[in-house]
Homo-oligomer: A and B are copies of this chain.
Amino acid sequence: MNIGLDMMGGDYTPREAVKGVQLYLSENPSAALLFLFGDETQLNELLNEYSISSPHVKVVHAPQVIGMHEHPTKALKEKQQSSIAVGFHLLASGKTDAFISAGNTGAMMVGALFSIKTIEGVQRPTIATIIPKENGKTGMLLDVGLNADCKPENLNQFATLGSLYAQNILGINNPRVGLLNIGEEEGKGNILAQAAYPLLRENKAISFIGNIEGRDVFLDKADVMVCEGFTGNVILKLAESVYDITKQKGIHHEYFDRFNFENYGGTPVLGVAKPVIIGHGISQAKAFKNMILVAQKMIETSLLGKMKSAFKV
């Protein structure tokens, strides 16, 4: 199993990425071969500093870096030797089985959509976030920003993709799918939600439990919560801000601690043909380790194969 990791993208790289690799290897000594993309000299020095001389690590020289605020398409095109471009190149050519980066989100999205094909039958790939439930369980919400405008069938496909992810990666048996809406009964909501409801109800690949409301997002009502990417993105950023506000105000509670994104290891891009994980720009060692673990699990459980089967006509 070969996992590619962008060592340069993000605010605290390459050091924190190296520390994440160290953490991962210390806990999973022979799991995967890690391909580390970045400046060879810089990376070798850091690997040396952290005493990483494992045969499970392979540095791939990528002298360019795509900055956090560069234009995604332009940067990817012009910086063929960047860690993100090289990472996608190896993923597309089959040298690696997954690719992880905490770098420029736009460039990661463009790379995922254009270097890696969409799963046949999937109309629109999607990005998901983990939602900590107040009773200690974990759910997921999708789409969280890739698709600001959706058609009903998009939401239906997000439900299928999310269910497979929840089952295989989060370990939730028969995940309950809820349609995020502004009322409980069928027929409530905006035009999109009203039209998506019957599609979800007829979808044999999921366990649809009906509408859920804003008040149910953090409650253990549905495991997979689907919505268009506008509302999902607003919720994601709002939840992150609640975490920031509690930290800043010195409000400590284990429930809010679970909002720390580092625990979940990045946002998977679902619906593309290979595992791609996008990390938060402020990812540190723990987040990098967890992203590697998620990628490993996506490969081990053959998640992509299962997704491909689900969309086979």
Residues of A whose CB lies within 8 Å of any CB of B are: 134, 145, 148-149, 180, 182, 189-191, 193, 213-219, 227-231, 233-242, 244-245, 248-249, 251, 253, 255-256
Contact = CB atoms under 8 A, between A and B. Distances in A.
B230 A242 contact: no
A234 B255 contact: no
Contact of A230 (B190, B218, B244, B248): B190
B218 A238 contact: yes
A233 B181 CA distance: 9
B134 A190 contact: no
Contacts of A255: 245, 249, 251
7 contacts: A134-B245, A148-B189, A148-B191, A214-B238, A214-B241, A215-B241, A242-B242
Give the interface SS of chain A, mostly helix, strand, loop or mixed: helix
Contacts of A239: 214
B190 A234 contact: no
Given A214-B241, A231-B231, A241-B215, A249 B134 contact: yes
A287 B57 CA distance: 62
Given A230-B182, A231-B231, A251-B251, A214 B237 contact: yes
A134 B250 CA distance: 13
Given A134-B249, A230-B231, A235-B214, A190 B242 contact: no
Contacts of A251: 251, 253, 255-256
A229 B183 CA distance: 12
A182 B145 contact: yes
Contacts of A244: 215
A110 to B, nearest CB: 15
Contact of A233 (B214, B216, B227): B214
A234 B234 CA distance: 10
A26 to B, nearest CB: 34
